[in-house]
């Protein structure tokens, strides 16, 4: 156990910062189903990777005048899908790792 102390987000008592669950009130922030959250995290990261690949392919095809059809039109929206998916992947990652002494921004 660590010597660092923090305040529980529910009971506001002083507890160690390295615990997953408050030893006094049992508060455990984060998602209800950690497995589903982790799968959603992986899916969102997959969307980010696919978006970057489509974007690079569309830009390269446009730069080299390759006949790829709709790829260049799809590549226009991929920075948005990558950004939004990346944000939610980060949010789920932080929520899954939240402890009782973290602020409730991700809890």
Would you place residue 22 in the very low, low, confident or very high pLDDT band (cuts 50, 70, 90)?
Answer: confident
Q: Up-side HSE of residue 62: CA atoms within 13 Å toward CB?
A: 13
**Whether residue 1 has pLDDT greater than 80:** no
- Structural contact between residues 31 and 96, judged by C-beta atoms closer than 8 angstroms: yes
Mean residue pLDDT across the chain = 85
Burial 35-57 (b: 16+ CB within 10 A, else e): eebeebbeebbebbeebeebbeb
Name the pTM for this structure: 0.74
CB-CB neighbours of 69 under 10 Å: 9
**Whether residue 61 has pLDDT greater than 90:** no
**pLDDT tens-digit series, residues 69-101:** 777 778 888 999 999 999 999 999 888 888 887
> Residue 44 and residue 38: Cα distance in Å, rounded?
10
């Amino acid at each position: 156990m660590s010597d660092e102390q923090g305040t529980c987000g529910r009971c506001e008592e002083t507890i160690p910062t390295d615990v997953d669950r408050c030893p006094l009130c049992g508060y455990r922030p984060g998602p209800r189903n950690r497995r589903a959250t982790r799968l959603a995290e992986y899916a969102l990261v997959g969307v980010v990777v696919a978006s970057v690949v489509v974007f690079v392919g569309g830009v390269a095809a446009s730069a080299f005048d390759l006949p790829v059809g709709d790829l260049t039109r799809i590549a226009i929206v991929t920075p948005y899908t990558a950004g939004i998916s990346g944000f939610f992947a980060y949010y789920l990652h932080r929520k899954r790792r939240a402890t009782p002494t973290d602020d409730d921004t991700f809890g």
